[in-house]
Amino acid sequence: DRMSLTYEKRAELAKNGVAKQLFSIMATKKTNLCLSVDMTSATKILDLLEKIGEHVCLVKTHADIIEDYTSDFISRIKQLADRFNFLILEDRKYADIGNTVSLQYSKGLYKVGDWADCVTAHSLPGEGILKALNSQNGVNRGVFLLAEMSSEGNLITPDYREATVAMASKYPELITGFVCQNKDTFKDPGLIQLTPGVQLESSKDDLGQVYNTPEKVILEKGGDVIVVGRGIVAAKSPETQAVIYKDTLWKCYLKRVSG
């Protein structure tokens, strides 16, 4: 099963170009850490990525929380992505009818389609959302579909999760993987399990977020790319903390593929 396969091997099995690229970056840089830069200052995000870019395979953004968002920010973050060899995931969680999503993806202030290697989307509206994103998929782009969430009391059921995976299987060239919490959610080793809700100690925040440890998330729950936000961003020294997360997460991955 996919738990025991190396990222090198899985890069060969991936049908989506971004998944292939991300597996290869992880293998080359020896990191499965995705930094979630949930910060409202473009300048601070760029400063942080100068220091941490070498330790991550993926940077997850929320463009719509940035107060000084400009096209200059985008050209700078793209330069950092080239320099440090990481990809960019805009965590937009699209959730509307296909026509609206296609406008949200390509137009407006953010023009996400111009710069994000991949985006997140809900399966809730049905296949039209994937058709919309697929039709704009000229260059190398991908979608992580939400199959599960980390937050307490979320309304996703096992049936919803299975229907999400079935929907994704119709768009193999578009789908990079799933945002999910459990290894049984999907089987295809060419797809990536992106798992948020991770800190070094199990805990919660005050607004429903639930954290699991790296060991649990990688060895028991099947996480491939691990999303860490406040565990790094809110630390006294984000750079030191990023290295600790990177090393811890990578050791768990090595243990998984060796055993």
Is 150 annotated for ligand binding? yes
Is 53 annotated for ligand binding? no
Interaction of residue 229 with ligand 5IU, rule CB under 6 A: yes
Interaction of residue 179 with ligand 5IU, rule CB under 6 A: yes
Q: Please name the residue that has the structure tokens 């953010």.
A: 110
Interaction of residue 58 with ligand 5IU, rule CB under 6 A: no
Nearest-CB residue for ligand 5IU: 229
Do β-strands 210-211 and 203-204 pair in parallel, antiparallel, or remain unpaired?
A: antiparallel
User: Applying CB under 6 A, which part among 82-90, 184-192, 226-234, 249-257 lies near ligand 5IU?
Assistant: 226-234
Report helix, strand or coil for 220. helix
Considering only residues 16, 102, 150, 164, which one is a binding residue for ligand 5IU as defined by CB under 6 A? 150
For residues 111 and 119, the answer to whether their CB atoms sit within 8 Å is no
Interaction of residue 45 with ligand 5IU, rule CB under 6 A: no
Q: Rounded to an integer, what is the distance from CA 173 to the centroid of its chain?
A: 17
User: Minimum Å distance from CB 191 to ligand 5IU?
Assistant: 16
From 207, 205, 206, 242, select the one nearest 227 (Cα to Cα).
242
Report helix, strand or coil for 198. strand
Angle between helices 71-84 and 42-52 (to 10 degrees): 10
Considering only residues 30, 38, 41, 76, which one is a binding residue for ligand 5IU as defined by CB under 6 A? 38
Is 230 annotated for ligand binding? yes
Contacts of 72 (CB under 8 A, 6+ apart): none
User: Minimum Å distance from CB 4 to ligand 5IU?
Assistant: 25
Contacts of 23 (CB under 8 A, 6+ apart): 7, 8, 10, 11, 14, 192
Interaction of residue 214 with ligand 5IU, rule CB under 6 A: no
Catalytic residues: 91, 93, 96
User: Minimum Å distance from CB 145 to ligand 5IU?
Assistant: 10
Q: Residues, the chain, total?
A: 259
Report the distance separating Cα 242 and Cα 235, nearest Å: 9
Is 209 annotated for ligand binding? yes
Considering only residues 230, 240, 254, 257, which one is a binding residue for ligand 5IU as defined by CB under 6 A? 230
CB atoms within 10 A of CB 4: 11
Near ligand 5IU in 186-205, by CB under 6 A? 196-197
Annotated binding site for substrate: 38, 60, 150, 209, 229-230
Q: Which chain residues interact with ligand 5IU by CB under 6 A?
A: 36, 38, 91, 146, 149-151, 179, 196-197, 209, 227-231
